[in-house]
């Protein structure tokens, strides 16, 4: 299949962008999904400084890599979340402890993201939107329907002006359906699209690893939201419920073998990638298959190289003939 295989730089943001690109090429990838943190891509510079953009393009060209998407997950989280001290680590240090200033910074950065993507020749931004109602996911203390309605409206109010900038630049936004987001499963994703009146700017970055431990089938998600699948994260997870640990994680750190589920390198978990590819073929998805490598139990360089090979092996094309055509008589 001609779908490109890319590597998301988010989990490699501890190394310079040029070194990351050298590794991505050595691992066998066609391109990268550039994370907008760790110095890999500064959005204001990419939106306003042509020389900065050319420098990034040169690094990509030197490694024979392309880019189809940029990732704004950490910044986007700061747009929609309520005050949370953990967001201090996502924003400039001088804004620490100032939640509304963090929100204003994040909104402006997301507007820059649209122009940055356009300048890079990219038509898609992946990321998170945050949620003012994630704490209400378990309805105790009792949660009213009005509280949920207000939360979805709050997201629409915050993100609509951002999406206006995306429209001006001919760029779309792909929300990664994910716990802590306003849309974290099938029905919340459906509700979010309705809140935005099915706005063309908004679609989904499907990451199956966030769905399977919730009991949501990624293939069904693709089928039901076929027109809104804008990007794919290839990431695996294993559910290892043993009668002690539950699916909520028990406040155990990712990678702890006592957890009820963990992210795994591709092919080492429970995601049915063959079925996912079949569903993507059925909707004629031709975009990137972007490896987001996360596995606390495996060396990341071994995992990233192996994951590239895994995706290439599973990235099969649909048949161009009916299997029983050969049985027909003239």
Residue 27 lies in a domain: yes
pLDDT at 323: 67
Residue 224 lies in a domain: yes
Q: Are 201 and 159 in contact (CB under 8 A)?
A: no
Residue 258 lies in a domain: no
Residue 196 lies in a domain: yes
Angle, helix 99-120 to helix 73-80, in steps of 10 degrees: 140
Residue 76 lies in a domain: yes
pLDDT at 129: 98
Instruction: Read off the pTM.
Output: 0.97
Structural domains in the chain (count):
1
Give me the domain span that covers residue 66: 5-235+272-320
Q: What is the pLDDT along the chain (330 residues), one digit of tens a residue?
A: 689 999 999 999 999 999 999 999 999 999 999 999 999 999 999 999 999 999 999 999 999 999 999 999 999 999 999 999 999 999 999 999 999 999 999 999 999 999 999 999 999 999 999 999 999 999 999 999 999 999 999 999 999 999 999 999 999 999 999 999 999 999 999 999 999 999 999 999 999 999 999 999 999 999 999 999 999 999 999 999 999 999 999 999 999 999 999 999 999 999 999 999 999 999 999 999 999 999 999 999 999 999 999 999 999 988 777 766 666 666
Query: Which H or E run contains 281?
Result: helix 273-282
Number of H helices, E strands in the chain: 11, 10
List of residues 6+ apart from 69 with CB closer than 8 A: 6, 33, 34, 122, 124, 125, 126, 174, 231, 288, 290
List of residues 6+ apart from 281 with CB closer than 8 A: 1, 316, 317, 318
We report the CATH number of the domain holding residue 135 as 3.20.20.150
Residue 289 lies in a domain: yes
Q: Which two tokens stand for residue 102?
A: 């963090």
Residue 70 lies in a domain: yes
pLDDT at 322: 72
Q: Measuring CA to CA, how many Å separate 77 from each of 109, 124, 194, 275?
A: 12, 17, 21, 30
Residue 264 lies in a domain: no
pLDDT at 286: 97
């Amino acid at each position: 299949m001609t779908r490109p295989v890319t590597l998301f730089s988010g989990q490699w943001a501890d190394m310079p962008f040029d070194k990351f690109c050298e590794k991505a090429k050595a691992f066998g990838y066609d391109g990268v999904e550039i994370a907008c943190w760790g110095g890999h891509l500064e959005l204001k510079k990419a939106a306003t400084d042509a020389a900065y953009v050319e420098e990034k393009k040169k690094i990509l060209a030197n490694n024979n890599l392309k880019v189809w998407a940029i990732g704004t997950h950490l910044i986007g989280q700061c747009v929609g979340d309520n005050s949370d001290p953990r967001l201090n680590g996502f924003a400039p240090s001088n804004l620490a402890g100032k939640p509304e200033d963090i929100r204003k910074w994040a909104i402006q950065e997301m507007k820059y993201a649209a122009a940055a993507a356009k300048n890079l020749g990219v038509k898609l931004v992946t990321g998170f939107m945050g949620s003012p109602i994630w704490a209400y996911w378990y309805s105790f203390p009792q949660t009213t329907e009005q509280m949920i309605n207000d939360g979805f409206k709050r997201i629409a109010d915050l993100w609509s002006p951002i999406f206006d900038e995306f429209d001006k630049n001919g760029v779309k936004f792909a929300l990664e359906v994910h716990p802590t987001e306003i849309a974290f499963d099938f029905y919340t994703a459906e509700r979010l699209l309705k809140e935005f009146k099915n706005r063309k700017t908004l679609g989904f970055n499907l990451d199956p690893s966030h769905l399977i431990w919730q009991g949501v089938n990624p293939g069904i998600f693709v089928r039901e939201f076929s027109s809104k699948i804008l990007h794919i994260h290839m990431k695996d997870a294993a559910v290892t419920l043993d009668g002690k640990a539950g699916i909520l994680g028990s406040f155990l750190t990712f990678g702890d073998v006592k957890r009820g589920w963990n992210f795994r390198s591709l092919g080492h978990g429970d995601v049915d990638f063959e079925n996912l590819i079949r569903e993507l073929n059925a909707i004629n998805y031709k975009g990137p298959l972007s490896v987001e490598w996360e596995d606390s139990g495996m060396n990341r360089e071994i995992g990233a190289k192996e994951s590239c090979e895994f995706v290439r092996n599973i990235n099969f094309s649909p048949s161009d003939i009916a299997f029983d055509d050969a049985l027909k008589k003239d």
